[in-house]
Amino acid sequence: MLHRLKEFYDGPNKDAKKFYNLVEEANQELYPGCTGFSKLPFTLRLYLLKCLHGWSNKSFTSLLKLLKEAMPELNIPPSYNKTKSTKIDACLNDYILFRNDHKDDDFCHTCGASRYIQSTEVDSELVPSKKQHRVSAKTLRHFPLIPRLKRLFMCSKTADSLRWHEEERSKDRKLRHPADGLA
């Protein structure tokens, strides 16, 4: 019976394998022996600096190249475009994700909302070489929960706060905190 089951089950499907590869890649060491950061949190912190200080995409790519040149063992993406490769476009009203069967769709099949922000049309006769850039109306970025919780529990003060409901809250069946209610 087990042999017959193996004939039908080939392991995780293509999308599941892709997801597991992304999770594995996010948990890679920043460099051999690094315990303070993994690849994803370091890249996100760099991206935060880019956003806070108004760096251009080109300057961010230059910074990544400089870091890689100075520290070849550093496990970071080679360019700005590679840092944002895990995003998924979503319906503005949260009905569908534009992936798999819907990856080429421009409108949600449920509510009819546009996938992209509607911009003013550029007159093609005036600017024939101008390529229209479409911006997603809503983007989903996946950040695995377990590594984030592990990082939160690494700090003793944060860990104490996270455990407060279980360890410190009064359990005399009186309503003192929203967590004491049945709902």
pLDDT at 108: 92
Question: Residue 72 has which token pair?
Answer: 């070849």
Q: What is the mean pLDDT of residues 155-181?
A: 80
- Stated pTM of the model: 0.37
Reported as a single tens digit per residue, the pLDDT across 13-47 is 677 777 777 777 777 787 888 878 787 788 778 88
Q: Residue 82 in 3-state DSSP?
A: helix
Q: What is the mean pLDDT of residues 133-148?
A: 78
pLDDT at 112: 92
Go through 20-46 and write b for each residue having 16 or more CB atoms within 10 A of its CB, e for each that does not: eeeeeebeeebeeeeeebbbbbbbeeb
Residues 6+ apart with CB under 8 A from 177: 169
Q: What residue segments make up the domains of the chain, in order of their start?
A: 34-86, 87-120+133-141
Report d(CA 70, CA 12) in Å as an integer: 39
Reported as a single tens digit per residue, the pLDDT across 79-99 is 776 665 567 889 999 899 888
- Of 74, 111, 67, nearest to 92 by C-alpha is 111
Return the percentage of the chain with pLDDT > 90, whole number: 7
Report d(CA 74, CA 123) in Å as an integer: 46
